[in-house]
Amino acid sequence: MKKTDISIKNITIASIKRHTTQPFDFKYSDIYENDKVILNERVGNQINFEDGEELICSTIINDSIWSVLTTRRIITLEGVGKVEHYLSGLKRRDAGDFKGYSKQEYTKGFLHFDDDKIIPYFIETGKASMIMIYGVNTTTQQL
């Protein structure tokens, strides 16, 4: 039985919360339990949600460097180039230096899909990294 976007969102957010140290008040990363309006204000209405698609989490460094995870897609803006891809068909992921050994506040990982597309995504380093890492991992397991 195919899961609904709401059930995928609930399962993913529960997983993120289990694996992330509280409080969830990080500099760049957010979990979205309710409101898409807040996200659209932060990224300038650059995301058009499909009918029923749910927002899960984001890493927003500034208005031109961000990644957003939904129940269906990963969407990244790096400078002027926005890229997005459906999460189904993910075959490999690289989370970059998510532990922050190099002392950066964020890192860039890559998602490699069955159609040979490689999509970058941003991850806040340290404790906050679990938001995007478990977001991507859990969402793709549900599809």
Q: DSSP letters of the chain?
A: -PPPHHHHHHHHHHHHHHHSPSP---SSEEE-SS-HHHHHHHHTS---PPTT--EEEEEEEETTEEEEEESSEEEEEETTEEEEEESTTEEEEE--STT-TT--SEEEEEEEETTS-EEEEEEE-GGGHHHHHHHHHHHHHH-
Q: What are the tens digits of pLDDT across the range 77-105?
A: 999 889 999 999 999 988 877 877 778 99
Summarised one tens digit per residue, pLDDT across range 50-83 is: 999 999 999 999 989 999 999 999 999 999 889 9
Over residues 118-126, the mean pLDDT reads: 95
Domains defined for the chain, CATH in brackets: 5-142 (2.30.29.30)
Q: Which pLDDT value is given to residue 103? A: 83
Q: Residue 36's pLDDT band (boundaries 50, 70, 90)?
A: low
